[in-house]
Amino acid sequence: MPNPFATKSHYSPNTLEAAIRHLQNSADVQIQLAHRAVGADEGRLFPDDLVLIGTVQRSLDLIDAFTLLTERGNATAAIPLLRLQLDSCMRFFACSLLPNKSELLTKLLNGEPIKKIRTPDGNYLTDAFLHKKLSEVYPWFSHVYEFACRFVHLSTPGMVSGVTSVGSAQDRTVQFHIGPGAGRKWLEHERKEAVDAFIGATEVLCSLIGAWEVAKKQGASRRAQEKGEP
């Protein structure tokens, strides 16, 4: 079976324990990147900065919960958190597609859907549009997004999570087991693949933060040139 979480992470530790530790350590990197981005352009704040701050805090909370659930082997609860990390990437990425961020920021602050906002070229900011756009840069993004969505909505992974064994076509038997710690076990190599995918998603987020820092610095440079400053 092909790895449903196949990514091209810049760094993928060899063991599950090392991968989890690497993901946990990424919290400090994200904080440093956020500090640099918010402080760029002499600390001028833009709507993107407010989205960035909320996105990074959400990322840190998700990593904390995801690693705990993964260590406990709880795929049903852990993988939807991967989907949320991808969602954070998509929402912050949406900021880069709009010349005027005020409508997006207002909707995000009010907890409203952004799917009715259009980009300058007429595309709505739907989840489908955003994950496909990110897949133009990160080819694995849509595949991981779609697989993780199956754990958010009650579909095949959830429906069969309590199945422990299936008999032959002749036996026509199925065994179920429900209760704390019951159901199919989340194998170690599967957990490693999920952690690698979370690392990949977090790297995307870090890249987006870095791109925003560069954009702020470029904006400051343009304003200085317009004023005739050196």
What residues contact residue 169 under an 8 Å CB cut-off, 6+ apart?
none
Query: Is 117 within the bounds of a domain?
Result: yes
Query: Is 145 within the bounds of a domain?
Result: yes
CA–CA distance, 18 with 109 (Å, rounded to integer)? 36
DSSP string, the chain: ---TT----S---SSHHHHHHHHHHHHHHHHHHHHHHHHTGGG---HHHHHHHHHHHHHHHHHHHHHHHHHTT-HHHHHHHHHHHHHHHHHHHHHTT-S--HHHHHHHHTT---TT-B-TTS-B--HHHHHHHHHTTSTTHHHHHHHHHHHHTTSHHHHTTTEEEE--TTT--EEE--STT-SS---HHHHHHHHHHHHHHHHHHHHHHHHHHHHHHHHHHHHHHHTT--
pLDDT of the residue at 218:
94
Length of the chain: 230
Query: Is 168 within the bounds of a domain?
Result: yes
Counting as low any pLDDT under 70, the low residues of the chain are: 1-12, 154-183, 229-230
Three-state DSSP at 163 gives: strand
Query: Is 6 within the bounds of a domain?
Result: no
Q: Which domain holds residue 60?
A: 16-177+187-226
This prediction has a pTM of 0.84
Query: Is 9 within the bounds of a domain?
Result: no
Number of domains forming the structure of the chain: 1
Query: Is 25 within the bounds of a domain?
Result: yes
Query: Is 2 within the bounds of a domain?
Result: no
pLDDT of the residue at 159:
43
Residue 67 main-chain phi, psi, to 5 deg: -65, -40
pLDDT of the residue at 50:
94
CA–CA distance, 94 with 228 (Å, rounded to integer)? 33
pLDDT of the residue at 14:
86
pLDDT of the residue at 1:
36
